[in-house]
Amino acid sequence: MSLNRLRASSGTYNVRESELARQYLRPERMLRCVVCFLDDTQQTFELERKAKGHALLDQAFQHLDLIEKDYFGLQYAEASGPAGLRWLDATKKIGKQVRTAEPYWFYFRVKFYVSDPSKLQEEYTRYFFFLQLKQDILRNVLVCPTSTAALLAGYAAQSELGDYNPDEHLSHYLSELRFIPGQTGEFEREVEEQHKQHKGQTPADAEFNYLEHAKRLDMYGVDLHQARDQSGVEIMLGVTAVGLVVFQNHVKINTFSWVKIIKISFKRKQFFIQLRREASEHSDSLIGFNMLSCRTCKELWKACVEHHTFFRLHVPKAPSRRHVFQIGSRFRYSGRTEHQTMQDCKKWGKVERTFERSPSKKYARRTVGGHTTDVIVEERTIDGLTNVPANTTRITAPPTNGTTTAYIRPYESFNNRLVAAATGASVVNTYVRPKKAWSSSEVAPPPPPSSRKPDEYTNGRSSIDHRSENGAESLVVIRIKPDEQGRFGFNVKGGCDQNMPVLVSRVAPNMPADLCTPRLNEGDQVLRINGNDISVMEHDQVVAYIRQSASNSTGLVLTVRPNVYVGDDEEPEAQCVPELQRVARTVPPNDRLPESVRILNDSLASGLTLEQFEQLYRRNVAMTMSDARASSNLSKNRYRDVSPYDQTRVKIQECPTGNYINANFVNMEIPTSGVVNRYIAAQGPLPNTCADFWQMIWEQQSSLVVMLTTKVERGRVKCHQYWPDLYETVDYGLLQVTCLKEEETPSFAFREFALVHLEVRARDGFLLRFTTAH
C-alpha cells in the first residue's frame, strides 16, 4: 500500500484540546487612539492593531457626521517633541507611524485651507474652519495686524454672544475670552466696538464674514517649513493652494505658483523646484533650498505633492508601479481632490441639519508674585472624578444636584499640550459634545416649482413685477417671507432723520432676502414697505416696521429702485498699482499669444491680477460726468453709479432725443507693440434706448457686438432684447435690422444681422456680427 493511500485512510481529532484552546484563547489587544477635536472635545477610538490611518480617519469623520471631510486630517506628535508634527498617512499602519506610548493622541485639524469660503457648501464645515482659524490666531500661527485681529474678534464675539446688549454685556465682558496672545484691555475695547457694529448677524453670518476677512491674510492657509536659502539665511517655505511661498521674518518675499513650477524633487536635505523658463531665458531655472534634516525635507516634498494634487488636479494621479531598480519615493496623494469634493456635494445637495456650537474656554487673569498669567476656568461635576490636574485651584460653587466645581489651571499652549500627550499625561475634557444635537440658521430650501401654485411664495421665493415710469427706471417689487426665527436677513441704512434715502446696506448669505427671486441687492433703495411710502419715516421707524412684518401672513413686500449708489464724490487721486509682467519683444510673433495666456494664468494663480484690479480707482477725479446726471438724460441710465465721462463718452449725431447714450470710448494700448485697440463699452439698452443703441452702431460703423450679460439674471432684468428674432425685421427709428443667422452653444449665441438705414439705402447697410451670453 502506498504512503498517500495510507494517509487518506486514517485521521484523528482531539475534541477536548480544541475546546480548551477556545476557552483560554486571549483576544487580540486593541489599539486605543484619542482624538482631540477643534471644539476641545475628545473621543477615544479602538481599532485593530494592524489598522491603517484611513480607519481612524473614517471613525473621526463618522463621529462628527462630516460630509466635506477631505479638507481635514489628523496630526500627531513624534516622541522627539512638539517640533515634529506629522500628518497621519491614511495608507500606512498607525502603529508604524506613531512612536509614542499608548494611547495614541491625535489632533483633528484643517489640512487644506479653501481659497474661497463660498466653496464650502455646508455651514457645519465653515464652522470647523472658523474654529481652526481662531486657534491659529490665538497660538500666533496665523499672524495678522492688530486692527484685523480686532475685526475678526468682533465677528467671533457676535457668533458666540449674539447681538451686543448693554444690559447683559457689562464692562470687561470680553475679558473671559481670548482672541490673540497677550490680549490687553485696550484690544478688548476695540473688539467691543466691532461687536456693536455686527448687530443682527446670525452665528453663520458672523463666521462667514470671519472667513472672508481671514482669507486675505498673507499667512492664511500656509503650511510652514523651516529652511535656509543658498546663502544660509533662515527662511520659511510655505505650501499653499496657489504654490510655494517664501517668508522671511513673517514677510512674504517670493511666490512660485504651481503654473510656473515644472518639477519638485528632494535629495537628502536639499529641496529643489524647477521653474518654467521665461521668454527672455534659454533654459529652465532650478532653485534649491537647504532643510534641517532629511525627514523634514521629505515632509515638505510630500506637502507639495498633496497640495498640488488637491487644488490643481481633477482626479489624483495613481502611483506608478515600482520597478526592481527604481530609486526614490513613490508617495502620491490618495484622497479626493477639491474638484471631486465640490462635485460630490453638488450631486447630493445640501444636507439640512442642526448643530450646537461649543462655548469657548473661559479665562481669568491671576497674579502671583507680581507676575500675571492667563488661567483657564473649567467647570466640572466632581462626583466620581478621580483624575484632577495637580496644578489646579478648586473653587466650590453653591451645591445643586451634585457639587459643581470650577478648576483653574494655567493656560497651556498647543505645543505644550502635544508634549503632554506624547509623554502619556492625561488631559481633562473641557466640554462634553452633545450627540447629534445640531441647530442651524440656514433656511430650508423651497419646494420645487412644480409643487407650488403660481401665486405662492415660500421661504423667500417670490414673483417679480417690473414697473416703468416713462421709461426712466424699473421699480422692482420683492416679496420676502421670514424664516422660522422671524428674520429676513438684510440690513438697511438711512431715513429722513439722517437726510438720506433708505438703502439696503447688507444682504446675509443663505437668508430669505438672498434666496428670494428677484434677489434683494446691496445698494437697492427701498421706496415702499407693504405698499406704504417710507420717505417720511425715521431710521428706527423703518426698522421697526420691517420687524413687525415678520408676524404678517403675507410676509414683507418691498418696492425698491435697483442699485442706487449714494456716496461721496471724492475718490483717491493716486493709487499704487502693481506692475504686471508683459510679453517680451524678443518673443516671435507666432508665440506671443500663447506666452500672453501663460503670463495671465501665472498672474491669476499668484493673485497679482486680482490685486491690481482691486487697487484701480473707481472713478477718475480729473474727469466729470455732468451730462450723465442731467435731468434730461437720467431716463437713459440703467444704473445711477455707472456713467460715462463727459470727455470720453460716445456722442450720437443724428438722434431726435439728444446726443447722449450711456457708452464710453475705451482705448487699450498694447505695450511694446505700438498697437492701440479701440472699443466702445455700453450699458445693456433699456426699452427707450434701443433706437439710440443702433444709431450709435451705425455712426461708429461697429461690425462686432459682444454682449457679456444675459437678459435676466436672478430675476433682475439686465438688458432689454434690442434685436429681432431669427428671420425677422424690426425698425429702430430710421434703422432697419434683420436677423440673418443664429447659432447657439451651451454658453453663447452667435447671430448675424443686416443693418440698413431707411433714408440711405444706396449704402446697402453692412453686415453685423453679434455674440450674446446665455
Q: Give the CATH number, domain containing residue 726.
A: 3.90.190.10
Q: Pick from 518, 534, 561: which residue ends a domain?
A: 561
> What is the per-residue pLDDT for 167?
86
Q: Considering only the C-alpha atoms of the chain, give the largest distance between any 2 of them, rounded to a whole number of Å.
A: 123
Q: Is 195 exposed, middle or buried (0-12, 13-18, 19+ CB in 10 A)?
A: buried
408 is a domain residue:
no
Give the number of other CB atoms < 10 A from CB of residue 601: 14
Residue burial 263-290, b: 16+ Cβ < 10 Å; e: rest: ebebeebebebebeeebeeeeeeebebe
Nearest to 183 by CA among 372, 381, 15: 372
Specify if 757 maps to a domain: yes
Full 3-state SS string of 30-54:
CEEEEEECCCCCEEEEEECCCCEHH
Number of residues assigned to the chain: 774
Using 70 as the pLDDT threshold, list the residues of the chain that sit under it. Answer: 1-10, 16-28, 79-84, 279-282, 318-330, 347-353, 363-474, 563-582, 584-585, 611-612, 614-619, 621, 671-674, 714-715, 761-774
476 lies in the same domain as 546: yes
- Domain co-membership, 636 together with 767: yes
Looking at 162, 189, 214, the residue that finishes a domain is 214
* Nearest C-alpha neighbor of 606 from the set 304, 255, 309: 255
Is 51 a domain residue?
no
Q: Confirm if 409 and 394 have CB atoms less than 8 A apart.
A: no
Would you list the DSSP string of 495-550? EGGGTEEEEEEEE-TTSHHHHSSSPP-TTPEEEEETTEE-TT--HHHHHHHHHHGG
Residue 220 has a pLDDT of 92
Residue 462 domain-assigned? Answer: yes
- Cα 426 → chain centroid: 37
Per the domain annotation, does 267 fall within a domain?
yes
DSSP 761: G
Residues 6+ apart with CB under 8 A from 507: 489, 490, 513, 514, 519, 520, 521, 522
Residues 171 and 237 in one domain: no
639 and 545 in a common domain = no
C-alpha cell at 500: 438720506
Give yes or no: residues 201 and 254 share one domain. no
Q: How far is CA 263 from CA 64, 229, 256, 257, 722, in A?
A: 37, 18, 12, 12, 52
Report d(CA 84, CA 613) in Å as an integer: 41
Judgement on whether residues 550 and 652 belong to the same structural domain of the protein:
no
- Domain co-membership, 289 together with 210: no
Contact (CB, 8 A) for 408 and 366: yes
- CATH number, domain at 201? 1.20.80.10
Query: Are both 195 and 255 inside the same structural domain?
Result: no
pTM above 0.85, yes or no: no
Q: Does residue 386 fall inside a structural domain?
A: no
First to last CA, the chain: 90
Check whether residue 151 and residue 201 sit in a common domain. Answer: yes
Residue 64 belongs to some domain of the structure: no
The structural domain count of the chain equals: 4
pLDDT at 589: 77
Contact 672, 648 (CB under 8 A): no
Sign of CA dihedral 229, 233, 237, 242: negative
Of 489, 498, 637, 502, which is closest to residue 560 (Cα–Cα)? Answer: 502
Report the CATH number that the domain containing residue 272 is assigned in CATH. 2.30.29.30
Domain encompassing residue 768: 632-773
Cα separations (Å) of 651 from 210, 631, 642, 646?
47, 17, 17, 10
Residue in the structure block whose three cell numbers are 469660503: 117
pLDDT of residue 2: 56
Question: 10 in helix, strand or coil?
Answer: coil
Q: Are 292 and 269 in contact (CB under 8 A)?
A: yes
End-of-domain residue from the set 214, 248, 269: 214
| Residue 69 belongs to a domain | no
Cβ-based neighbour number of residue 569 at 10 Å: 7
Q: State whether 206 and 248 are in the same domain.
A: no
* Same domain? 707 vs 752: yes
Same domain? 300 vs 186: no
Angle of CA points 84, 85, 86, to nearest 5°? 110
At 601, list the grid cell: 494664468
Cα separation, 266 vs 225, whole angstroms: 14
Nearest alpha carbon to residue 156 among 188, 184, 125, 116: 188
The beta-carbon contacts of 725-731 under 8 Å, at least 24 apart in sequence, are 726/751, 731/758
291: which strand partners? 227
